[in-house]
Amino acid sequence: MTALLSLAINITLLSIILAMLLCTIRLLLGPTAQDRVLALDTLWMCAMLLALTLGIRFGSVVYFEAAMLIALTGFVSTIALTKFLMRGEVIE
């Protein structure tokens, strides 16, 4: 059962990295700017999940705070990018 759990953790890490690669593809060749913003937001979420899964992998609670910080920064940056795309400036 322990080997199965470590295998599942490794599969989760690999699939999150694959999802980040797919988001990077969409970020590079997205036809419009809002596609790139959407891909960047998904990339932030995948990075947060990667930090959480690394915390499970190494059995450490420190990664939780990194995941919390990544989630907060991703939200703020996505809001700023959408505001810039919609209005042309961030703070009016």
Partner 1 sequence: MTPELETLPIWVSLPVTLLLLLGSAIILIGALGLVRLPHFFQRIHGPAITITLGTGSILIASMIYFSALQSRLVIHEVLITAFVMLTAPVVAMLIMRTAVYRDLRARDRGQDDSTEDDEATNEVYPFSTKK
**Which x/- pattern, by CB under 8 A, does the window 34-63 give for partner 1?**
xx-xxx-xx--xx-xx--xx-xxxxx-x--
φ/ψ (deg, to 5) at 34: -70, -25
* Residue 57 or 92 with smaller CB distance to partner 1: 57
Which residue type does 15 have?
S
In the chain, the amino acid numbered 22 is L
CA distance 59 to 10: 14
DSSP code for 31: S
Q: Is residue 32 close enough to count as binding partner 1 by CB under 8 A?
A: yes
Minimum CB distance to partner 1, residue 44 (Å): 10
- Return the ∠ at Cα 64 (arms to 62 and 66), rounded to 5°: 80
Q: φ, ψ for residue 12 (rounded to 5)? A: -65, -45
Q: Is residue 31 part of the contact set for partner 1 (CB under 8 A)?
A: yes
Q: Binding residues for partner 1, per CB under 8 A? A: 1-2, 4-6, 8-9, 11-12, 15-16, 18-20, 22-23, 25-26, 31-35, 37-39, 41-42, 45-46, 48-49, 52-53, 55-59, 61, 64, 67-68, 71-72, 75, 78-79, 82-83, 85-86
